[in-house]
Structure 1
Amino acid sequence: MLLEIENMTVAYGRIEALHGISLTVGEGEIVSLIGANGAGKTTTMRAISGIRPLAGGSIRFEGEDISKLRADRRVVQGIAQSPEGRGCFPGMTVVENLEMGAYTRRDKAGITADMNRVYGLFPRLAERKKQVAGTMSGGEQQMLAVGRALMARPKLLLLDEPSMGLAPMLIQQIFDIIVEINQQGVTVLLVEQNAQQALSRSHRAYVLETGRIVKSGTGQELLNDSSIKDAYLGVA
């Protein structure tokens, strides 16, 4: 397994946000984590990327325990995140934001090749290379956030709510691009409130409720699960 989380607990002060969750992500998979607001999805992502410390349990990446590894070292190991809310550098151009994604790298030819790859995935960014990120639309900033994460050349790409606030047509486009990124060899862990889009493209998925994993299965199994349909898909 590429990523193995075992009995992970995360707390904010005295309040426990995650209650001993366990999940795995295999190499080459798209795995989704779905759940309502406040379920602990973003906390899970922050713990994996090293932004939130663990109160208990462990995180293993490529067989190595990274539970106490600094966030910047996890990027070097091959974990990159496109955060909730995009987090683009508003005063920097598209090119400068993408360059920030490659800050741990020194291979100039590889960086140039990856930048061209990002422009291939997101032609809109190629058209706006010199545009300052803060003046771009929400959809364009989302593309930039994903592109910036890809510039780290990750083995595991963490995507936190990539469809949030986007128009329906753009949501479809973003998810199609996520599949394309995966087909290019990048493993994806996806946190998403749009359960229909996420599950229909995921190899496997987990359902998180109030800091606990309550269900798991293939994307198709959860799409067909009546309790999931009722709770997250808006159909009986």
Structure 2
Amino acid sequence: MLLEVEGLCVNYGHIEAIRDISFGVEEGTVTTLIGANGAGKTTTLKTLSGLRKVRAGKVTFDGTDITDMSPEKRVKLGLSQSPEGRGIFPGMTVRENLDMGGFVRRDKAGLAADLDRVMALFPRLSERISQVAGTMSGGEQQMLAIGRALMARPRVVLLDEPSMGLAPKLIQQIFAIIKEINEQGTTVLLVEQNAAQALKAADQAHVLETGELVRSGTGAELAGDPSVRAAYLGGDI
């Protein structure tokens, strides 16, 4: 496993947000976590990024224990995140936001190549390269958030609710880009409330309920699971 979570427990004060969850992400795959609001999906990603402290358990990345590693070191190791709510720098231009995504890197040629890659994935950003990010539409800001995460040249990119608040046409576009990112060689760990799209995109999938991992399988297996269909897919997919 490229990324492995073992017995992970995370608290917010006295409240258990994550209780003893274990799962792995294989290199080259798309893995998704689905669940209702408050299930612990975003907390899981924040913990993997180093933004939440672990109460118990272990996180391993490519054989290295990163449980207590700083967020910056995790980015250098190959783990970057596009956060829930996009988290762009609204007063900066598109180009400045993308430059921030590569802040840990010193390889100018590689950064230039990755900027070209992001522009190819998101032509809209190329058209708005000098625009102040806070003036763009929600869909454009989501593209920017994903592009910024890719500028770190991650081995695993963590995508937290990339379709949130977007129109159906844009959701289709974002998921097509996620597929392309994966096909280009980047492993994806995806958190999504749009369970139908997430399971369609996923090689492996896990269901979180109130901080516990209650079901795992391939995307197709969970899409066909009656209990998953009833809870998250409106009875159909």
TM-score band, normalised by shorter chain:
over 0.9
User: What code does the residue aligned with 2:227 have?
Assistant: S
* CA offsets 1:112-163 (integer angstroms, 9 cap, x no match): 1100100000000000000001000000000000000000000000000000
**The residue matched to 2:21 in structure 1 has which SS?**
strand
Q: Does 1:24 align with 2:24?
A: yes
Deviation at 1:230, TM superposition (A): 0.5
Q: Does 1:192 align with 2:192?
A: yes
Q: Distance in 2 between matches of 1:163 and 1:35?
A: 15
1:206 corresponding residue in structure 2: 206
User: What code does the residue aligned with 1:78 have?
Assistant: G
Alignment of 1:2-151 (within 5 A): 2-151=2-151
Q: Distance in 2 between matches of 1:233 and 1:125?
A: 33
User: What code does the residue aligned with 1:155 have?
Assistant: R
Deviation at 1:67, TM superposition (A): 0.2
Deviation at 1:58, TM superposition (A): 0.3
Deviation at 1:188, TM superposition (A): 0.3
**The residue matched to 2:68 in structure 1 has which SS?**
coil
Percent identity of the aligned residues?
Answer: 64
User: What code does the residue aligned with 2:140 have?
Assistant: E
Q: Distance in 1 between matches of 2:14 and 2:229?
A: 34
RMSD: 0.5
**The residue matched to 1:17 in structure 2 has which SS?**
strand
Q: Distance in 2 between matches of 1:117 and 1:77?
A: 20
User: What code does the residue aligned with 1:182 have?
Assistant: N
Q: Distance in 2 between matches of 1:105 and 1:18?
A: 32
Deviation at 1:8, TM superposition (A): 0.2
Q: Distance in 2 between matches of 1:61 and 1:160?
A: 19
Q: Distance in 1 between matches of 2:152 and 2:123?
A: 19
User: What code does the residue aligned with 1:36 have?
Assistant: A
**The residue matched to 2:166 in structure 1 has which SS?**
coil
User: What code does the residue aligned with 1:83 have?
Assistant: P
* CA offsets 1:43-81 (integer angstroms, 9 cap, x no match): 000000000010000000001100000011000000000
Q: Does 1:160 align with 2:160?
A: yes
Deviation at 1:234, TM superposition (A): 1.1
Q: Distance in 2 between matches of 1:106 and 1:70?
A: 19
Q: Distance in 2 between matches of 1:172 and 1:211?
A: 29
Deviation at 1:235, TM superposition (A): 1.8
User: What code does the residue aligned with 2:126 have?
Assistant: A
**The residue matched to 1:119 in structure 2 has which SS?**
helix
Deviation at 1:92, TM superposition (A): 0.3
Q: Distance in 1 between matches of 2:113 and 2:37?
A: 38
Deviation at 1:35, TM superposition (A): 0.1
Q: Distance in 1 between matches of 2:60 and 2:107?
A: 27
Deviation at 1:212, TM superposition (A): 0.2
Q: Distance in 1 between matches of 2:88 and 2:123?
A: 18
Q: Number of residue pairs matched?
A: 236
**The residue matched to 1:52 in structure 2 has which SS?**
coil
Q: Distance in 1 between matches of 2:111 and 2:233?
A: 40
2:181 corresponding residue in structure 1: 181
Residue ranges of structure 2 left out of the alignment (5+ in a row) = none
What TM-score, normalized by structure 1, do the two folds share? 0.99
**The residue matched to 1:214 in structure 2 has which SS?**
strand
